[in-house]
Amino acid sequence: MDAVIHFRLAPGYQSAAPEGFGEGNLFLAEAVTAAVAGLYVLIRGSRPAWVLALLTAGGGFAVLVLYRYIDIPAFGPFPAMYEPVWFFDKTLTATAQAIATLLASTALVLHQNTRSLHASSN
């Protein structure tokens, strides 16, 4: 869901800075990373896959909420991305990212507990 929405919205956000780094390019980077993390989890389901999923979803959620409530000015190559509104796609993305963050965290804890059980039984 995160990847699909970011891919779909990227062109509209890039139009604010068509020649620069732009928010649209950040949306594309988020979309690609979310898609890769999702596929990696589906294919491997390994600890590194879940870590990537946690970093992608958790980081995306943190940035989304941060720029929703705090007006951070542009810095370095990053544009100002303050957007003090909730709309359907943003709410859907935030919900998907929050759920993915919880699932990845849970998977990592369960993976660690499984490793601990195997180590103690040997």
pLDDT, one tens digit per residue, over 2-58 is 999 999 999 998 876 666 678 999 999 999 999 999 999 999 999 999 999 999 999
Is residue 121 scored above 70 in pLDDT?
no
Residue 18's pLDDT is 63
Q: Which residues contact 57 (CB under 8 A, 6 or more apart)?
A: 2, 34, 37, 96, 97, 98, 100, 101, 104
- Per residue in 85-96, pLDDT (tens digit) is 999 999 999 999
> In this structure, are residues 23 and 29 in contact, taking their beta carbons and an 8 Å threshold?
no
Predicted pLDDT at 118: 58
Predicted pLDDT at 122: 56
pLDDT at 104 over 60: yes
Model confidence pLDDT, tens digit, residues 44-84: 999 999 999 999 999 999 999 999 999 999 888 888 899 99
Q: Which residues contact 44 (CB under 8 A, 6 or more apart)?
A: none
Can you tell me whether residue 73 is helix, strand or coil? coil
